[in-house]
Amino acid sequence: MRFSAFFIPTLREMSSETDVISQQLLLRGGFIRKVTTGVYNYLPLGLRVLRNIEKIIREELNLQNCQEVLFSTLQPSELYQQSNYLNCLEEELFKFKDKNDRECCLPLVQEEMFVNLIKGEVKSYKNLPLVLYQINRQFRDETKSKFGIINSREIMAVKACSFDATLEGMEKSFEKMKSVYDKIFNRCGLKYNVITGSLNTNEYITLLENGDDKFVYCENCNYMSSLKNAKIREQKHVNSEDIKDLYKVETIGIKTIEDLSKFLGVSKDKLAKTMIYKIDKNVVAVMVRGDREVNNTKIMDYLNCTFIEMADEETVERVTGSETGFAGPIGLMVDKLLVDYEVAELNNMIVGANQKDFHLVNVNYGRDFIGEIGDFRNITEEDSCPICGEKITITNGIVIGQIQKSGDKHSQIFNAKIVVEEGFEKPLLMGGYEANINKIISAVVEQNHDEKGIIWPLEIAPFQVIIIPAVMKDELQVKVAEEIYEKLKSENVSVIIDDRDERIGVKFNDADLIGIPIRVTVGKKAKDGLIELKLRNESEVKDVRLEDTVKEINNIINLQHYF
């Protein structure tokens, strides 16, 4: 490929639309361009990176006899309705109606398509184990788009599903796929951690300053967890404050914790908020301290439910007898009341009175109300490590992939059964395995860059080698550069030659910006039979004899000692 003919619209200045370094460099290097909020085009350089990652994914999955499928982008909403995901993902799912007034959607989760396919085709344990996968687009009506392609609304992702007849088979498939995903991320040159989440899930994460998710880390014992799954270390608090008489206080127009704290002149940790949710078919109230945040994942795990959302105003008014902003635990007409540990131990708390413009003071658990006590809040840096009790740190990061033992959750919903060896029918056992290619690209750039630009790992770089003739008017330099270029092409090395009539500094700057791993410079030393070889991640420039150039480059590529 020739630089002069290749579409590389680099930018000299950083974009003002984002502070995320990976997004800045991908825009500057001409890898992507923004279409609209959360939507991006991949330009030729970016598409080459994307395709290289796809190649790695296919190679590793195919080695394990996984088989590729390609599902339609247009999907019937009935599949999501059947699994209850349509309601659960209401705010994130792209939905529309066709000319026949049938509701359709763009895919966000893929298990429905996999299990719906298999249930009609696989009838016996003799056809198992089986692993299918696809590399395709997923769509999310994402609201927080400041992180660029890290959480864009159109996602390129790989999704695989394993199907087994026995628990032993499912475990074996899970371990096999864990090994596959380890190799995929390693070959992409990523530094990552694997953490155990909820519901038999392992998450692959990278800790990044510009990450769109939160993670908990303990330096003492190396404990790590996503914020949503981090458990609270139970600590019994000794309350020296005597229990006082309950009374009602008028709080006209005061609906938020912030305003209530200021109005009553008390700290937020003396307040308790009552949040009303719709969970599956039930209405559930959750109480946490005023300075805490409810953790939806913990609630879903506790109730073993598939769907959770904040209750609408009509539901809130029905169960509280008041408008939103004044909910409290006393007299609530809900199916369940979940009470966080801290609230149960809080003496003389202040809560909503289930009456407009009123709150209750000196409310105490046990005397004034009861509920189901548990861990229902987000961990904070005030809390200690749930394993060793030492200080924790909450930091940013992204989830680049996750693998999960789903069991029969999806097959039960879709009535996907097989005849097992004993002769009777039972639900299929499944595993789900996914990786977000958008996030892989962003994470690689976040981890591998300097002040000059991107430093791509060899396997996913848009080109492995760039050849730069220093002076295009020098016939010898051009002749030598062309010879090296043709030899590398003949050996299937991914190479680009910068044949532009530009100053050498401009060429070096562009090569560094787009992050080509190996740079070959043909300059004045060409008359002595020497070229200059430099690796993007090193400062040293090495003289190499012309006849040894291709061998030296192949050694670098084959030995993979670049990273």
Q: What is the CATH number of the domain that holds 509?
A: 3.40.50.800
Both 262 and 223 in one domain: the answer is no
Q: What is the CATH number of the domain that holds 423?
A: 3.30.930.10
**Model confidence band, residue 120 (pLDDT cutoffs 50, 70, 90):** confident
Both 298 and 421 in one domain: the answer is no
Residue 67's domain spans which residues? 14-71+107-228+394-445
**Model confidence band, residue 30 (pLDDT cutoffs 50, 70, 90):** very high
Residue from 469, 563, 479, 485 nearest 523 by CA: 469
Q: Per-residue pLDDT averaged across 388-400, rounded?
A: 93
pLDDT per position as a tens digit, 408-435 = 888 888 889 999 889 999 999 999 999 9
**Is 422 part of a structural domain of the chain?**
yes
Q: Per-residue pLDDT averaged across 320-340, rounded?
A: 95
- Residue 247, φ and ψ in degrees, nearest 5: -150, 165
Both 422 and 335 in one domain: the answer is no
Both 273 and 364 in one domain: the answer is yes
**Is 6 part of a structural domain of the chain?**
no
Q: Structural domain tally of the chain? A: 4
Half-sphere exposure of 167 (CA within 13 A, CB side): 0
DSSP annotation of 317 reads: H
- Residue 525, φ and ψ in degrees, nearest 5: -75, -5
> What pLDDT does residue 562 have?
41
Tokens of 468: 């730069």
**Model confidence band, residue 327 (pLDDT cutoffs 50, 70, 90):** very high
Q: Which of 153-157, 219-223, 321-325, 361-365 has the highest mean pLDDT?
A: 361-365
**Is 235 part of a structural domain of the chain?**
no
**Is 386 part of a structural domain of the chain?**
no
> What pLDDT does residue 513 have?
97
44 vs 93 pLDDT, higher one: 44
Using the predicted structure, report yes or no on whether residue 563 has a pLDDT greater than 50: no
H or E element, residue 338 = strand 336-340
Using the predicted structure, report yes or no on whether residue 240 has a pLDDT greater than 80: no
Q: Which of 108-117, 461-470, 554-563 has the highest mean pLDDT?
A: 461-470
Both 172 and 25 in one domain: the answer is yes
> What pLDDT does residue 136 have?
93
Q: Per-residue pLDDT averaged across 471-487, rounded?
A: 95
Q: What is the CATH number of the domain that holds 274?
A: 3.90.960.10
Both 29 and 122 in one domain: the answer is yes
Both 437 and 416 in one domain: the answer is yes
Both 115 and 91 in one domain: the answer is no
Both 52 and 97 in one domain: the answer is no
Q: What angle, rounded to 10 degrees, do the helices at 475-490 and 549-559 form?
A: 40
Q: Per-residue pLDDT averaged across 91-103, rounded?
A: 82
Q: Per-residue pLDDT averaged across 151-172, rounded?
A: 93
336 vs 100 pLDDT, higher one: 336
**Is 136 part of a structural domain of the chain?**
yes
Both 487 and 370 in one domain: the answer is no
pTM over 0.85: yes
- d(CA 54, CA 316) in angstroms, rounded, equals 47
Q: Per-residue pLDDT averaged across 272-294, rounded?
A: 95
**Is 242 part of a structural domain of the chain?**
no
DSSP string, 6-50: S-----SS--SS---HHHHHHHHTTSEEEEETTEEEE-HHHHHHH
Using the predicted structure, report yes or no on whether residue 123 has a pLDDT greater than 50: yes
- d(CA 439, CA 443) in angstroms, rounded, equals 6
**Is 64 part of a structural domain of the chain?**
yes
H or E element, residue 340 = strand 336-340
Both 151 and 279 in one domain: the answer is no
Both 50 and 85 in one domain: the answer is no
- d(CA 239, CA 224) in angstroms, rounded, equals 31
**Model confidence band, residue 561 (pLDDT cutoffs 50, 70, 90):** very low
**Is 90 part of a structural domain of the chain?**
yes
What mean pLDDT value characterizes the chain? 91
